[in-house]
Amino acid sequence: MSATIHAHKSFENSLLNKILQSDRFKIYQDAFRLTTGLPLRLASADADYWSLDDNTVNRSPFCEALNQGGHACSACSETNRRLIHEAEVHGSSTCNCFAGLCATAVPVKLGASVIGFLKTGQVFTKVPSEAQFTEMLGSLGRKTLSAASISQLKSAYLNTQAVDPQRYHSMITILQTFAEHLSEHAESLAIIEEGSEPAAVARARKFIHAHIDQPLPLGQVARAAGLSESHFCRLFKDSTGLTLTDYVNRCRIDWAKRELLRPEARISEIAFLVGYQSLSQFNRSFARIAAVSPTQYRRQRLELAAS
């Protein structure tokens, strides 16, 4: 990972960890679990598994049985990859795993950047049947399982919670509102974060993320930080490892990557949407940061999603 990417990701991961440790998140997590009976986890965008909570509160007994037996690790990872892809592109998204359980991811943002996902689910939208279990068992490979394992999986499968689709949708609506509150909390934490960067740099970051689609001249950002231009340049570079121009470009390209996952969006439209004044400028910045052109990036990611 390059120094520029590392600096950007390090800040976002630090922010996500502070949210996880906050009383605001813990109180809501407990309330959501108690009210809905669903699990709830805040995961980073880089998490490559579907497991929703380390202490298993409300987690599906079927998913627990699969995890303990090691039967569906690759299938769960594939579900998670597909779910995160959809949530990055379209916002709050729900998909089904190979066994028919649904999962949902709701993005939490800092400005235009997605820093994590609220994840819930591991439920059916209708009561599962023995016929469905038999069909699912075929995808696992019956011959690789002992009779005791099949019996355990069957009991867990048939006892996994089923939630009416309309009720589940209402639960996700509540989760979306909480994600918006956490995004606002992230903005506040970015300013008051202790020990990781000066308050002036945090103020500058907040201003940048709030106006990332607009021109961001040095003087304007320095004033938002409450510093002279020369002092701001030194402090920002020392704190982030990036110049203001590099940081702004990094944020814009991160946003553009998500927009490129929408096949119907024209590249020229994306360039102006994320704050570039010309397509050529966007193409140069994208290639320098991502090491491929926007067209190549889109093709690679869409091919990966379809595989």
Write out pLDDT tens, residues 144-182. Answer: 778 888 888 899 899 888 999 999 999 999 999 899 888
| Residue 68 binned pLDDT confidence (cut-offs 50, 70, 90) | low
pLDDT for res 194:
45
Q: How far apart are CA 40 and CA 145, in angstroms?
A: 30
Residue with tokens 């929408």: 262
Tokens of 211: 């106006």
| Residue 214 binned pLDDT confidence (cut-offs 50, 70, 90) | very high
Q: How far apart are CA 203 and CA 104, in angstroms?
A: 32
The SS3 call for residue 155 is helix
Q: For 288-303, write each residue's pLDDT tens digit.
A: 988 889 999 888 877 7
Residue 249 confidence (pLDDT) above 60: yes
CATH 1.10.10.60 matches 197-306: yes
> H helices within 58-164, ranges in order?
61-69, 73-90, 130-140, 147-158
Residue 285 confidence (pLDDT) above 90: yes
Tokens of 213: 């689609």
Sheet holding 113-123, edge to edge: 41-43, 113-123, 102-110, 93-96
Q: For 41-58, write each residue's pLDDT tens digit.
A: 998 866 555 554 455 788
Q: Where are the domains of the chain?
A: 3-187, 197-306
Neighbour tally for 68: CB within 10 Å: 11
pLDDT for res 232:
94
Model-wide pTM > 0.95: no
| 72-86, 117-131, 170-184: segment of lowest average pLDDT | 72-86
pLDDT for res 109:
82
Q: Average pLDDT over the chain, rounded to whole?
A: 83
Residue 21 confidence (pLDDT) above 90: no
| Residue 225 binned pLDDT confidence (cut-offs 50, 70, 90) | very high
84 contacts: CB under 8 Å, gap ≥ 6 = 45, 105, 117
**Region for 296 from its dihedrals, namely left if φ exceeds 0, alpha if ψ lies in -120 to 50, beta otherwise:** alpha
**Phi, psi for residue 127 in degrees, rounded to 5:** -60, 125
| Residue 305 binned pLDDT confidence (cut-offs 50, 70, 90) | low
| 72-76, 89-93, 128-132, 177-181: segment of lowest average pLDDT | 72-76
Tokens of 10: 């390090």
